[in-house]
Amino acid sequence: MKITKLHQAPKVPYDLDGHIIARASCVEIVHLTLKPGQQIAKHINPNDVFFFVLEGKSMIETDDERALVQKDQCIFVEGGTNRGFDNISVSDFKVMVIKLQQ
């Protein structure tokens, strides 16, 4: 068994409040916090990704759609899809990012 404390987990290699809380050959799990008004510009990730919203709400956008997501929702984005987030709320947006490795 391995227990990881969020703020002792390694930070993501980007200018974001994110921590890699688990990594295995088939998956990487990241806890990510966006402050009010903070955005992650649209970008392409080659991996399939699940986003599970822990707290707050945010807009998620792909090239084909835009949706408001909030606490207790799970969003699936297929690998190779352009995606981005925009925290349009007045509180933190916290999301668990589950990247499936190829």
Residue 90 lies in a domain: yes
Residue 95 lies in a domain: yes
Residue 5 lies in a domain: no
Residue 93 lies in a domain: yes
Residue 1 lies in a domain: no
Number of domains the chain contains:
1
Full residue range of the structural domain in which residue 25 is found: 11-100
Q: What is the pLDDT of residue 101?
A: 86
* Cut 0.85: pTM above it: yes
Q: What is the pLDDT of residue 97?
A: 97
Residue the block writes with tokens 């709400």: 57
Q: Which of 41, 7, 10, 39 is nearest to 23 (CA)?
A: 10
The answer to whether residue 102 scores a pLDDT higher than 80 is no
Tell me the average pLDDT across 61-87. 96
**Maximal CA-CA distance, the chain:** 41
Residue 80 lies in a domain: yes
| Residue 75's CATH number | 2.60.120.10
Residue 65 lies in a domain: yes
Residue 4 lies in a domain: no
Q: Which of 95, 3, 2 is nearest to 49 (CA)?
A: 95
Sign of the C-alpha dihedral computed for residues 9, 32, 98 and 80 taken in this order: negative
pLDDT digits (tens, 9 = 90+) for 12-63: 998 999 999 999 999 999 999 999 999 999 999 899 999 999 999 999 999 9
pLDDT digits (tens, 9 = 90+) for 21-34: 999 999 999 999 99
